[in-house]
Chain A
Amino acid sequence: MTASTTDRAALVSAIAAAHAAERGPLLPVLHDVMAELGHIAREDVETVAAALNLSVAEVHGVVSFYRDFRTEPPAAHTVALCRGEACQAVGAQALYDATCARAGSLGDDVEVEEVFCLGNCALGPSGTVDGRLHGRLSADRLDALTRDWR
């Protein structure tokens, strides 16, 4: 992730080239940039636009529309908690509010996000911890799952 500007541009161009023959390649390209680099920087938008023969405005418009595409580097750790109705029925809103309020106690550089349904609605409250899905979450369970962060 410490790629220099030119390395970064070369990598993003290579990702775009790998998908260029597909129909509608923009989302697959942006997903791969996220996976490789953790976020989509402004210069990546320009590189992708040039590689796929799209306008910068068009690529920017797509990046800004979708929640998955972030334009800033992520925190070291992420907890995403579901606020969908099924999880709310078993206390997810209180868990989310409390976790936001004590994000700092879980670790140094922790981001708490809200999500709306992870397809685990019979075993809520659901959430992901650094991308891994967990069911029947509680404050104690979150403490245990994030122990290594402290």
Chain B
Amino acid sequence: MSARVFVPADAAAVSVGADEVAAAFESAGAQVVRTGSRGMLWMEPLVELDTGAGRIGYANTTPEDVAGVLSGAAPGIGVVDEHPWLASQRRVTFRRVGVVDPASIGDYEAHGGWAGLRRALSLSPAEVVQEVTDSGLRGRGGAGFPAGRKWQTVLATESEQKFVACNLDEGDSGTFADRMVVEGDPFTLVEGMTIAAHAVGASEGYVYVRSEYPHAVAALGRAVDTACTHGYLGRDILGSGLDFDLHVRVGAGAYICGEESSMLESLEGRRGEVRARPPIPAVRGLWGRPTAVNNVLTLCAVPMILADGGAAYASLGTGRSRGTQVFQLAGNVRHGGIVELPFGVSLRELVEEYGGGTLSGRPVRAVQVGGPLGAYLPASGLDVPMDYEALAGSGAMLGHGGVVVFDDTVDLARMARFAMEFCSLESCGKCTPCRIGSVRGVETIDRIIAARDGQGDVPADLALLDDLCTTMTQGSLCAMGGLTPMPVRSALRHFPEDFEARR
């Protein structure tokens, strides 16, 4: 019998040669199963050999290593499930990612798939909403709004047509969990959206995938087709009477289309300009109809919540941050990847224990949490617990859970400039504080940097920058302009020396 090996087809693994490794295993006569990634990204390509004693991992495999893996001569990392980095996590949303064949609906069912949907269909919509409310689940896209409350609004709004829309725009630098769960376990999103459709009374759903994610588009498209064939989508799902069609749509390269109303504009075929609110999308969303808009990770938590009950999910976490959070370790970090843990773990544990410090081996100087609109925290501020409220108390935000590590070569004035530049490039243009303020911000920081490195009047420009930040915070229609001051001000506050004249 030929050996069975698991080789990730995840985009990150492919970016460092997993396809070539898979081809080499096939040439050597092995049976290759393409999976998602376990999220131990620094080990990619991480291949796993099926043995009687579990799946043994081989890190950073190249085509030249294939013979050694098959003969048992290559040094492995042991049984992957028992690797401490993985075994110490609490994988809920990511429990199947890297384990199952994402193309196999049979694999999905064998690993607990569809249990949540079956239970949901035996409950009334209001009961499903109650389960989600009881779980304490909050939106994972960034704003942290309670999912049950949003669904309740959609359910309670009368309309002959309602929609569910999934936000897979994932534009934040340092984040990749939406992509990985959809590439590695796409049926979970299909199941979560179908449960959402039943809960709010929607008959159609849309997934908005950014165009930078072609692997995710392909995996999801395949899963939707397969689910239709097997009666998990379409008419009279599992004989319940529920009709639900799911469509996959691709974005076109605009960060602002991750903002929910801009995403709806884009889905409707317009420029991705932010809509004024009210009305909120839950009342008037896609084509003016009530629409439940949720992030991928929010929707992917739902099947487990329905299968095991809201109380089981709520038993994890801390304070008003219930359940698990999928943290993403990125940037200058030795052990980058996916760390799923209950809320409340400290940033230090993520960066130092899981992350293993910097990739460069130099000291950690700054960590940006929560994407391009998130704060830069200093090495002395890493003891903050990772939950919504504690981070807010530190002048930071969780965002989509990205943790980007920088070593001591980082120049925070340059990073503050980049925040303004990014805003100026990605602003939808609808309001002046964001569109013009960000351009002024770039110019002002350029002067500060020039003065710092030579001669000039730094204090006056620092005051101007502070005014600009205030104007943007107070006068912007959405969080693009409203939160760009967060990275800028956190850089000024924690790293003032980077803005001062150098002697």
Residues of A within 8 A of B (CB): 22-28, 30-31, 58, 61-62, 65-69, 83-90, 115-124, 126, 133-136
The 6 A-B pairs with the shortest beta carbon distances in the complex, nearest first, are: A122-B336, A84-B173, A67-B253, A26-B269, A89-B331, A66-B252
A89-B405, A121-B330 in contact; A65/B16 too (CB < 8 A)?
Answer: no
Kindly list chain B residues whose C-beta atoms are within 8 Å of the C-beta of A85: 173-174, 331, 368, 372, 404, 415, 418
The answer to whether A133 and B173 touch across the interface, beta carbons within 8 angstroms, is no
* B227 nearest CB across to chain A (Å): 19
The answer to whether A86 and B16 touch across the interface, beta carbons within 8 angstroms, is no
B114 on interface, CB distance cutoff 8 Å = no
Kindly list chain B residues whose C-beta atoms are within 8 Å of the C-beta of A117: 171-175, 212
* B197 nearest CB across to chain A (Å): 16
The answer to whether A61 and B12 touch across the interface, beta carbons within 8 angstroms, is no
Kindly list chain B residues whose C-beta atoms are within 8 Å of the C-beta of A122: 12, 41-42, 176, 328-331, 333, 336-337
The answer to whether A68 and B172 touch across the interface, beta carbons within 8 angstroms, is no
Kindly list chain B residues whose C-beta atoms are within 8 Å of the C-beta of A65: 254, 271-272
The answer to whether B173 and A121 touch across the interface, beta carbons within 8 angstroms, is yes
B14 on interface, CB distance cutoff 8 Å = yes
Q: How far is the CA of A87 from the CA of B174 in the complex (A)?
A: 8
Closest to B367 in A: A89
The answer to whether A121 and B15 touch across the interface, beta carbons within 8 angstroms, is no
The answer to whether B269 and A24 touch across the interface, beta carbons within 8 angstroms, is yes
Closest to A117 in B: B173
A27-B269, A65-B271, A89-B332 in contact; A121/B212 too (CB < 8 A)?
Answer: no
B143 on interface, CB distance cutoff 8 Å = no
Closest to A59 in B: B269
Q: Mark B316-347, 1 if CB is under 8 A from A, else 0.
A: 00000000000011111100110000000000
Q: How far is the CA of A136 from the CA of B333 in the complex (A)?
A: 13
Q: How far is the CA of A50 from the CA of B384 in the complex (A)?
A: 57
The answer to whether B211 and A68 touch across the interface, beta carbons within 8 angstroms, is yes
Kindly list chain A residues whose C-beta atoms are within 8 Å of the C-beta of B270: 26, 58, 61-62
Q: Mark out the residues of chain B between 99 and 143 whose CB falls within 8 Å of any chain A CB in the assembled complex.
A: none
Q: How far is the CA of A21 from the CA of B465 in the complex (A)?
A: 50
* A4 nearest CB across to chain B (Å): 28
With A65-B272, A67-B253, A121-B404 known, 11 other A-B pairs at CB within 8 A are A23-B268, A31-B250, A58-B270, A65-B271, A66-B253, A85-B418, A89-B405, A115-B212, A121-B328, A122-B333, A124-B331
The answer to whether B44 and A87 touch across the interface, beta carbons within 8 angstroms, is no
**Residue contacts A-B, CB under 8 angstroms, 12 given:** A27-B250, A27-B252, A61-B271, A65-B272, A67-B254, A88-B415, A89-B330, A89-B332, A119-B212, A121-B331, A133-B14, A133-B15
Kindly list chain B residues whose C-beta atoms are within 8 Å of the C-beta of A30: 252
The answer to whether B330 and A86 touch across the interface, beta carbons within 8 angstroms, is yes
B287 on interface, CB distance cutoff 8 Å = yes
